[in-house]
Amino acid sequence: MKVSVIGAGNVGASCAEYIAINKIASEVVILDIKENFAEGKALDLMQTATLNGFNTRITGSTNDYSKTANSEVVVITSGIPRKPGMTREELIGINAGIVKTVTENVLKHSPNAIIIIVSNPMDTMAYLALKESGLPKNRIIGMGGTLDSSRFKCYLSKALNVPASDVQGYVIGGHGDTTMIPLTRLATYNGFPVSNLLDAETLKKVAADTMVGGATLTGMLGTSAWYAPGASVAALVDSILNDHKKLYTCCVSLNGEYGQSDICLGVPVVIGKNGWEKIIDFKLTADEQAAFNKSADAVRAMNKVLSEMKTV
């Protein structure tokens, strides 16, 4: 099983590392436009193989897409990272061109690949990849909701003072500071509603912290986060390659689901060997649906920028 990661930055390298350590794929190819950068990352990671007990073969290449041939999954992390004070929307002009070019090149060599989009603004980049590639919609997956949900569960576990593995929660909507929707109503601790354990003010703070989770880390680190994004991608790759059919929140193409169409947005989906295989209806309340619609409006505004740029 072969996975290619386009972009050898922090997120791409972390993704490759988690895939190898968790023995998810037999081969990982890292590609980057910077001379010898992917090769260096791959060599460094391979030198941990005996220490971490994995047999995954990791190789790197400078912009040679032929090395990615016959990949089952391609992960696109390419693009400039978000810097302090920069919104995801501000990334659109530069990253749209990058994602378009990368998508075209990977499909020349891996026409049957499932593509996972990480590049920001992720909802719009997923929409771009879908429109440009002409692929069946189930083969384009935006990672954002998986990451946002993991942050939500982290903050919930801190508020409850319990292991994060005992907490379940989902974030839907756009992958942005003002567009994501942490579903506090449906969050549970070992199946028990969290709303029965935390007061409304605490839940409100958990949701607020989740929504600015990426910006908080960008402010601390001076660049976008990479450990949790890399792990989120690896989890999706695992569910695809091993057909686990796990439920994750991902940015996918909607055709009437959740009241939206002609948009890629975060909803709960089953992830298996065919990519995303089924959208799960969480039966939103009127307030939650209104928030989802507002999120869709914001993402459409970004998608409109693509149209005006004649990218889509």
Catalytic residue among 117, 175, 203, 233: 175
Contact 135/128 with Cβ under 8 angstroms? no
Residue 292 CA to residue 263 CA, distance in Å, equals 12
Is beta strand 261-272 parallel, antiparallel or unpaired with respect to 246-255?
antiparallel
d(CA 144, CA 152): 12
- Per-residue pLDDT for 149 more than 90? yes
Per the structure, the count of domains in the chain is 2
User: 102 and 133: one domain?
Assistant: yes
Residues spanned by the domain of 58: 2-144
Average the pLDDT over 2-9 and give the result.
97
Distance CA(159)–CA(201), nearest Å, equals 11
d(CA 250, CA 239): 13
Short-list 131, 130, 128, CA closest to 139: 130
Do 125 and 234 belong to one domain?
no
Give the per-residue pLDDT at 85.
72
Same domain, 294 and 152: yes
Between 60 and 177, whose confidence is greater?
Answer: 60
Q: Structure pTM? A: 0.94
CATH number of the domain residue 67 falls in = 3.40.50.720
CA distance 24 to 6: 18
- Residues 295, 302, 147, 81, CA torsion sign: negative
Once rounded to an integer, what is the mean pLDDT over residues 181-191? 97
Instruction: Output DSSP code: residue 1.
Output: -
Q: Does residue 83 carry a pLDDT above 70?
A: no
On average, the pLDDT of the chain sits at 94
What local confidence, expressed as pLDDT, does residue 285 receive? 98
H or E segment and range at residue 151: helix 144-160
Examine the domain organization and report whether 111 and 156 are in the same domain. no
CATH code of 268's domain = 3.90.110.10
Q: Mark whether 70 and 178 lie in a shared domain.
A: no
Q: Is 244 a catalytic residue?
A: no
Same-domain status, 192 and 295: yes
Name the maximum alpha-carbon separation found in the chain.
55
124 with 156, same domain: the answer is: no
Q: Of residues 177 and 209, which shows the higher confidence score?
A: 209
pLDDT of 92: 81
- Distance, in Å, from the CA atom of 181 to the CA atom of 148, rounded to the nearest integer, reads 9
Band of residue 231 on the pLDDT scale cut at 50, 70, 90: very high
Provide the CB-side half-sphere exposure for 65 (13 A, CA). Answer: 14
Task: Report the percent of the chain where pLDDT is more than 90.
Answer: 87
Average pLDDT rounded to a whole number, residues 203-227 = 93
* 150 and 273 fall within a common domain: yes
Task: Give pLDDT, residue 211.
Answer: 96
Residue 37's pLDDT is 97
Q: Given 87, 120, 144, which residue is the final one in a domain?
A: 144
Same domain, 95 and 132: yes
Q: Are residues 286 and 149 in the same domain?
A: yes
- Percentage, residues of the chain above pLDDT 70: 96
pLDDT at 80 (0 to 100): 78
* Residue 152, amino acid: F
Q: What is the pLDDT of residues 85-144, one digit of tens each?
A: 766 566 787 888 899 999 999 999 999 999 999 998 899 999 999 999 999 999 999 999
Domain boundary among 87, 115, 144: 144
